[in-house]
Structure 1
Amino acid sequence: MTEESTSGRVSRRKFLAATGSVGAVGLAGCTQSGSGGGGDGGDGLSGTIDIAGSSTVFPLATAMAERFQSEHSDVNINIQSTGSGGGFANHFCPGRTDFNNASRPIQPTEEEACSGNDVTPVELTVATDALTVIVNNDNDWVDCITVEELHEIYSAESSPTTWSDVNSDWPDQPLELYGPTDASGTYDYFIEAILGEEGPGHRQDYSATEQDRTIIQGVEGSENAIGYLGFAYYSQNTDRVKALSVDDGSGCVEPSLETARAGEYTPLSRPLFTYAKQESLAEEHVAEFARFWLENATSQEIVADEVGYVPLSDEDQQEAMDALESAIENAQG
């Protein structure tokens, strides 16, 4: 996987446009080595924080890390975009990272894997996303798609090969499908919301990638393409691809922060998470970063305007903060 890095404060929109969800980002002033290591910097906080997981949560985590490090220059934060499942399996549950970003809840098998390595995950809701279905700008035959049509397009059981196989009003042109890999929480959520967990599963004859910008590029490059990804990446590329409204039986609703916030964009609006490793919260710089993230999770400027997600409500923020403070007390007590 290609790696990109940046340091200091950068434009969120320029950063997303340049990197998509690719690779790893290290954000640092003066750095200390060793995951979870603490120490005393000029402001009393220093050490390294390692984060992996969801490509969807990646830009939000990066935005929070930039701001935290502007206040705490002796803290080094490393963020990798690995997919929710890839982060749990390869980084977080083995004890290699302090946080795992996720665009779906942790699964029982992942909780068991974490427990086996004495890792206690603490679930923190950080935003709401509107999973977005995109097509090429030259696609003039569909502006709204039903849940049933999405199911047929991506189902392993039906596996249509042309647009007209799905809807006779659509052209007899080949379907070109894009989407995330099976390591992605976006993939898991799409199965849950559209295909059904007990259904035949997600078809595998599609262009799968953990790089959201590759989905944008693929759909932009072919009139016959369709794909899906988190709203933040679409919101940075509205001139390059077209988002479809979704009809779940109650009429067509476009993906937007407003419709997701109002609960109207169903079934593709979803909560986003970061999971803190409770044991790492014993280190003050890790605990303070977690607090900082939640304190800013209600920010319209950061969460909505810069990144493209729905900020937490005050009630949801308080619930997450209560869970965090309890975990910090357990870790430091």
Structure 2
Amino acid sequence: MKKFAFKLTFAAVALSALAAPSFAQVVKIDGSSTVFPPTEGVAEDFQKLKKGAMKVTVGISGTGGGFKKFCRNETDISNASRPILKAEMEACKAAGVEYYELPVGFDALTVVVNPKNTFLSQLSVAELKTMWEPAAQGKITSWKQVNPAFPDAPIKLYGAGSDSGTFDYFTEAINGKAKASRGDYAATEDDHVTVKGVAGDVNALGYLGYAYYAENQKTLKALPIVEKAGKAAVLPSEQNVINGTYQPLARPIFIYVNTKAMERPEVKEFVAFYMKEGSRIMKEVKYVPLPASAYKNNEEHLAKGKKGTVFGGIAEVGVTIEELQRREAKL
């Protein structure tokens, strides 16, 4: 995989889709910007292997936007930074779309500030809630209102848009309810916008997938998070995701595959390649790969036709790698 290939803009991705040669067999993917980096990496290596005989297009419309297309039979695979929700399950069912749920890695959702920010060395979940909950809209506008020890400086917030699985997960983890958030912030489905905004404002704060922080460490600073009073602040990292201490912002990421699409050789081969190379590419883009047994379990689900989700339409917070494996084994 070409290093940092995931830095393509949405426009570039869209153009690549339009430029797909008519003679190639095409695999259509859309969805989460968080899952875009590894999926784009897999797609690039797969297309090189196939020497142009198969084309993979990867869009970024957010987890929710991706599921809308997926449940309308417009895509073969949906990238998702959270499990499929009940309303999306119903939409797929109404359209006759069945699917395989394949966890492909873990992300450490990362809270970032400008490196020149000198007053923030960590934040607690409680402090994050103070600035992000719906009641904060139009009222919590200064850092001093979050913590009296902070300066009386304006807060500028950047985060995921409402079609993003990152938005759903962050609001559930921090505010206690998915989609419950103040609305007066710079919202986007493209994490590059958050990177640019926080990098350009010393008083800004944002949240995004770890891969986007990892590739922009010169212009962003990650904050350690205190889950609750009495606990230590924990930085996002592979080790802290694996050992379960980075909570509540560690989360599994997925691809969902249309079962009928899997009957086409190009889709079947691409998914098989993803399961084989996913662990390597997860590491390349700074996400946490699953144990080898998890990818093997995915392959067994595909071979046995085990469709559906183990989450029951709920985007849960705090699921560990170990718990994810236990659930998937019972599907």
Same fold (TM over 0.5): yes
Q: Which runs of 5+ in 1 are unaligned?
A: 1-8, 34-45
**Matched pairs, number:** 302
The residue aligned with 2:37 is: 59
Residue 273 (structure 1) aligned with residue 254 (structure 2): yes
Identity of aligned residues (%): 38
Distance 1:164 1:281 in 2: 54
24, 27, 31: which one pairs with 2:14?
24
Structure 1 residues 182 and 22: CA distance shift in structure 2, 3 A: farther
Structure 1 position 321, deviation (Å):
1.7
Distance 2:20 2:255 in 1: 25
Aligned residue runs from structure 1 range 164-203, under 5 A: 164-197=144-177, 201-203=180-182
Q: Once structures 1 and 2 are overlaid, which stretch shifts more, 224-233 or 189-198?
A: 189-198
Q: Is the 8 A contact 2:6 2:40 kept in 1?
A: no
Aligned residue runs from structure 1 range 90-169, under 5 A: 91-159=69-137, 160-169=140-149
What is the root-mean-square deviation of aligned Cα atoms in Å? 2.2
Distance 1:190 1:148 in 2: 13
Aligned residue runs from structure 1 range 203-222, under 5 A: 203-222=182-201
Distance 1:231 1:153 in 2: 21
Residue 12 (structure 1) aligned with residue 3 (structure 2): yes
Structure 1 position 324, deviation (Å):
2.0
Q: Structure 2: which amino acid aligns with 1:185?
A: G
Give the SS at the match of 2:272: helix
Structure 1 position 139, deviation (Å):
0.8
Distance 2:11 2:118 in 1: 29
The residue aligned with 1:262 is: 243
Give the SS at the match of 2:134: coil
Distance 1:285 1:259 in 2: 37
Q: Is the 8 A contact 1:154 1:202 kept in 2?
A: yes
The residue aligned with 1:241 is: 220
- Runs of 4+ aligned structure 1 residues displaced above 4 Å come to 20-23, 27-30
Structure 1 residues 148 and 116: CA distance shift in structure 2, 3 A: same
Q: Is the 8 A contact 1:245 1:252 kept in 2?
A: yes
Distance 2:100 2:19 in 1: 28
Structure 1 position 143, deviation (Å):
1.3
Q: Structure 1: which amino acid aligns with 2:187?
A: A
Q: Which runs of 5+ in 2 are unaligned?
A: 308-331
Residue 290 (structure 1) aligned with residue 280 (structure 2): no
Give the SS at the match of 1:297: helix
Residue 231 (structure 1) aligned with residue 222 (structure 2): no
Q: Once structures 1 and 2 are overlaid, which stretch shifts more, 307-316 or 320-329?
A: 320-329
Distance 1:271 1:25 in 2: 29
Higher relative contact order (CA 8 A, sep 6+): 2
Q: Structure 2: which amino acid aligns with 1:12?
A: K
Structure 1 residues 54 and 167: CA distance shift in structure 2, 3 A: same
Structure 1 position 80, deviation (Å):
0.4
Structure 1 position 26, deviation (Å):
3.3
Q: String of CA shifts for 1:71-127, please: whole Å, max 9, x gaps.
A: 1120011110110000111x1110010000000000011011111111112110011
Distance 1:71 1:296 in 2: 12
